[in-house]
Amino acid sequence: MKNHRKQIWLPLLVYLAGCMPVFGAEINLPDATDLGSHGVTRAQLDGLDGIMLKAIQDGTIKGCSYLVAHKGEIVYRKAHGEFTTDERVPLASVSKPFAASVIMALAEQGKLDLEDPVEKYLPEFKGIRVKGSETPARPMTIRHVLSHMAGFWGNKGISREKIGLIRDFSQTLEESVKGAARYELIHEPGTKWTYSGIGYCVAGRVAEAALGDQSFEKVSLDALFRPMGMNDTTFAPTPEHPFILVGGSLRSTLDDMAVFGQMHLCDGEYNGKQYLSQASVTDQRRLQIPEERSKAPGLGWHRGFPDEDGLADLVFISGASGPRFQVDRRRQTVTVFLVRTSLQKVVPLFTDLNLHVEKMFSVANDR
C-alpha cells in the first residue's frame, strides 16, 4: 500500500515542483541596531511619524508608509492609518527606473543594445513618419524610448484611441505597441523630450521580442527582480488583464524598493553581488537631453544635483497614484514613500518627509 501511494504522489509532486516559480533568496536591507552610528536620534525619527499622522488627521490621506535607509541599513520603516509596511502597492510611473534597469541588464547580457533601432526588433516601426512629413523619420533607438526622446505623443490631451493604448488592460503589450505604430510621431526621434507612457511600452515590447516573445513580466523577473530576491515586485498580469504597462503598472513593497535603491546607490552592487555594472547605473543617471534643466531625465529616473561630470547625485521619481522614490548619493540615503491617492494631494507630504530626512543627514553646500 505504501509503495502504491508513492507511485501516485511522486509524479504529482514532481509536476507541482516544475510549475512552481523559482524565487531568489530574499535578502532585505538590515535594520539599524545603533542609531547613534548613523548620527540620528529616536526623537528625530519620531518627527516623521508626526508628519504622516498630521496628514491623516487632516484628511489628506487615509494611510501611508515611509522607509529611510542610510548607508545600507534601515533606520526608519513605519506605516500609519489604513496601511501596513508590507503592502504590495501600485507604483504608477515609479515603475520606470525598474523597467529601465531591466533593459540595462539585458544589454549587459548581449540581448540588445541601447543604440539599436527599435525597428530591428519591431518591424512595424519601419517607415514611420513624423506628422506633416512626407519622408520616414530617422530611426528611433531603444535609448530614445527610455529617455522620452522617441517622438511619441504625451499622456495628456490625446485622443481616446491613444489613451486606450496605455489604459486598456484587456489587450496585450504586443497589441498596444502595434497600435502605436499606426500613428505618426509628433517630432523626429532624438530631437525633443516628451514624457510618454507609450514609449516605455515600446521598450518593453522590444525586450519581449529580443528574448523570443517572452512576456516582459518573465523577462523582468528573470533578468533582475528574482535574482535580487525582490520577490514582491511584479507587474501582476492576469489572463483577464494581460496588459503590462511597462512604465506604470509595476507593484512592489517598501523593502523590495529599498533593495533596488541600495543597488543603484552602490553602483549596481548589492549584498556582495554585482547585478548591474557601474557603467549601466552611471548611464541611468546621466543627462539624456541636450541641456541640463530641473528634473532633467536620465534613463528611468529624474535627476538632481549633477556633479562636475554631469552625473546626478540625486535620482528620484513620483507616480500618479502618489508614491515617491529617491536615491541620494550625497547623503547615502534611500527613501521610499508609498500611498494610494492622487499625486497632487501628497506632494507636500512626501516633500516634508524628505526635507526632514535631509536635515537629519545634512551635507555641506546643500541646495
- What CATH number has the domain bearing residue 341? 3.30.450
- Least confident piece of the model among 1-5, 57-61, 234-238: 1-5
pLDDT beyond 90 at 142? yes
Domain that holds residue 130: 92-252
List, in order, residues 6 or more apart from 256 with CB less than 8 Å away. Answer: 225, 230, 231, 232, 233
Q: Are residues 76 and 100 in the same domain?
A: no
pLDDT beyond 50 at 4? no
pLDDT beyond 50 at 29? yes
Summarised one tens digit per residue, pLDDT across range 260-316 is: 999 999 999 999 999 999 999 999 999 999 888 888 899 999 999 998 888 999 999
Give me the CATH number covering residue 226: 3.40.710.10
- CA 21, 246, 213, 288 dihedral sign is negative
pLDDT band, residue 201 (cuts 50/70/90): very high
Give the pLDDT of residue 365: 61
pLDDT beyond 90 at 158? yes
Q: Are residues 84 and 220 in the same domain?
A: no
Question: Mean per-residue pLDDT for 4-21?
Answer: 41
- Least confident piece of the model among 9-13, 137-141, 229-233: 9-13
Summarised one tens digit per residue, pLDDT across range 82-112 is: 999 999 999 999 999 999 999 999 999 999 9
Summarised one tens digit per residue, pLDDT across range 165-185 is: 999 999 999 999 999 999 999
- Least confident piece of the model among 114-118, 216-220, 231-235, 310-314: 310-314
Could you identify the residue written with the cell 548607508? 71
Q: Are residues 130 and 190 in the same domain?
A: yes
**Per-residue 3-state assignment (H helix, E strand, C coil) for the chain:** CHHHHHHHHHHHHHHHHHHCCCCCCCCCCCECCCHHHHCCCHHHHHHHHHHHHHHHHCCCCCEEEEEEEECCEEEEEEEEECCCCCCCEECHHHHHHHHHHHHHHHHHCCCCCCCCEHHHCCHHHCCCEECCCCCECCCCEHHHHHCCCCCCCCCCCCCHHHHHHHHCCCCCHHHHHHHHCCCCECCCCCCCCCCCHHHHHHHHHHHHHHCCCCCHHHHHHHHHHCCCCCCCCECCCCCCCCCCCCCCCCEECHHHHHHHHHHHHCCCEECCEECCCHHHHHHHCECCCCCCCCCCECCCCEEEEECCCCEEEEEEEECCCCCEEEEECCCCEEEEEEECCCHHHHHHHHHHHHHHHHHHCCCCCCC
Residue 267 lies inside a defined structural domain of this protein: no
Give the pLDDT of residue 101: 98
Between CA 182 and CA 198 the distance in angstroms is: 13
Summarised one tens digit per residue, pLDDT across range 187-198 is: 999 999 999 999
Q: Are residues 43 and 174 in the same domain?
A: no
- CA 341, 342, 343, 348 dihedral sign is negative
> 195 and 148 in contact (C-beta within 8 Å)?
yes
Q: Are residues 76 and 223 in the same domain?
A: no
Q: Are residues 132 and 162 in the same domain?
A: yes
Last residue of a domain, one of 214, 234, 252: 252
Residue 342 lies inside a defined structural domain of this protein: yes
Q: Are residues 200 and 323 in the same domain?
A: no
Residue 291 lies inside a defined structural domain of this protein: no
pLDDT beyond 90 at 353? yes
Residue 352 lies inside a defined structural domain of this protein: yes
Percent of the chain with pLDDT over 70: 92
Q: Are residues 73 and 110 in the same domain?
A: no
Q: Are residues 159 and 188 in the same domain?
A: yes
Q: Are residues 106 and 242 in the same domain?
A: yes
Last residue of a domain, one of 252, 270, 289: 252
Last residue of a domain, one of 220, 252, 284: 252
> 260 and 100 in contact (C-beta within 8 Å)?
no
Q: Are residues 156 and 209 in the same domain?
A: yes
Give the pLDDT of residue 19: 36
The chain-wide mean pLDDT, for the chain, equals: 93
Cell reading at 149: 526622446
> What is the count of structural domains for the chain?
2
Between CA 360 and CA 40 the distance in angstroms is: 6
Between CA 166 and CA 244 the distance in angstroms is: 9
Q: Are residues 213 and 323 in the same domain?
A: no
Residue 327 lies inside a defined structural domain of this protein: yes
> 253 and 279 in contact (C-beta within 8 Å)?
no
Question: Mean per-residue pLDDT for 24-53?
Answer: 94
Summarised one tens digit per residue, pLDDT across range 205-228 is: 999 999 999 999 999 999 999 999
